[in-house]
Amino acid sequence: MKHFKRRLFLSLMLAPLFLLQAHAARAADAPGAQAPATLDLDAVLKQAMEGTRTPALGALVMRDGKVMAQAVRGVRRNDQAEVVRSADVWLIGSTAKPMTVALVAKLVDRGVLSWDAPLAQMLPELAGSMRAEYRAVTLVQLLSHHSGLPENIGDVKLLDGFFTDARPLPVQRLALVSAALKEAPVAAPGTAFVYCNTGFLIAAVIAERAAGADFEELMRREVFQPLGMASAGFGPTVDGQPRGHRAGKPVTAPMTKSDDGVPMVYTAAGNLHMTLQDWAKFCLDQLAGSRGDGKLLKPASYALMQTAQPGSPSGMDWGVQASIAGRAGPVLVHGGSDGNWLAWAVLFPKADTGVLVVANATEDMGGDKATRAVMASLFAELSPAKREE
**pLDDT per residue over 317-330, tens digit each?**
999 999 999 999 99
Residues 378, 44 contacting (CB under 8 angstroms): yes
14 pLDDT band (50/70/90 cuts)?
A: very low
Coil, helix or strand for 385? coil
CATH architecture for residues 2-382 = 3-Layer(aba) Sandwich (3.40)
pLDDT at 368 over 80: yes
- What integer is the mean pLDDT of 90-113? 97
The answer to whether residue 36 scores a pLDDT higher than 60 is: no
In this predicted model, what pLDDT tens digit does every residue of 376-386 receive, in sequence order? 999 999 999 88
Query: What is the structure's pLDDT at 1?
Result: 28
Measured at the CA of 164, the angle between CA 338 and CA 367, to 5 degrees, comes to 15
H or E element that contains 11: helix 2-11
Other C-beta atoms lying within 10 Å of the C-beta of residue 65: 12
Provide mean pLDDT across the span 260-276: 94
**Average pLDDT, integer, range 28-56:** 77
β-bridge partners, 321: 331
DSSP H stretches of helix in 132-224: 139-143, 156-161, 169-180, 198-211, 215-219
Strands (DSSP E) along the chain, which ranges? Answer: 56-63, 66-74, 89-91, 233-234, 245-246, 249-250, 272-275, 319-324, 327-336, 342-348, 353-359
Which helix (DSSP H) or strand (DSSP E) does residue 121 occupy? Answer: helix 119-122
Q: Stretch 349-358: mean pLDDT, rounded? A: 97
Task: Indicate the DSSP class of residue 50.
Answer: T
Tens-place pLDDT, residues 57-70: 999 999 999 999 99
How confident is the model at residue 311, as a pLDDT?
87
Confidence of residue 389 (pLDDT cuts 50, 70, 90): low
Cα–Cα distances in Å, from 228 out to 67, 260, 296, 357? 15, 31, 11, 20
To the question of pTM greater than 0.75 for the whole model, the response is: yes
Has residue 122 got a pLDDT over 80? Answer: yes
For the chain, first and last CA: distance in Å?
Answer: 43
Over residues 366-382, the mean pLDDT reads 96
> What gap in Å lies between CA 232 and CA 217, rounded to an integer?
12
Task: Note the pLDDT of residue 257.
Answer: 83
> Is 70 exceeded by the pLDDT of residue 348?
yes
Q: Residue type for 114, please?
A: S
Asked if pLDDT for residue 251 goes beyond 50, the answer is yes
CA-CA distance, 294 to 291, in Å (whole number)? 8
What's the angle, vertex CA 343, arms to CA 60 and CA 104, rounded to 5? 95
**CA nearest 16: which of 358, 330, 265?**
330
pLDDT digits (tens, 9 = 90+) for 275-297: 999 999 999 999 999 999 999 99
Contact (CB, 8 A) for 238 and 122: no
Q: Is the pLDDT of residue 25 over 80?
A: no
The pLDDT value given to residue 258:
81
In whole angstroms, give the CA distance from residue 128 to residue 130.
6
Asked if residue 317 has a cis previous peptide bond (ω within 30° of 0), the answer is: yes
The pLDDT > 70 percentage for the chain reads 90
Helices (H) and strands (E) in the chain, counts: 15, 11
Q: Please, what sign has the CA dihedral across residues 167, 10, 359, 261?
A: negative
Asked if pLDDT for residue 11 goes beyond 90, the answer is no
Tell me the pLDDT band of 387, cut-offs 50, 70 and 90: confident
Give residue 33's pLDDT: 43
Q: List the one residue out of 293, 333, 316, 289 whose CA is nearest residue 199.
A: 316
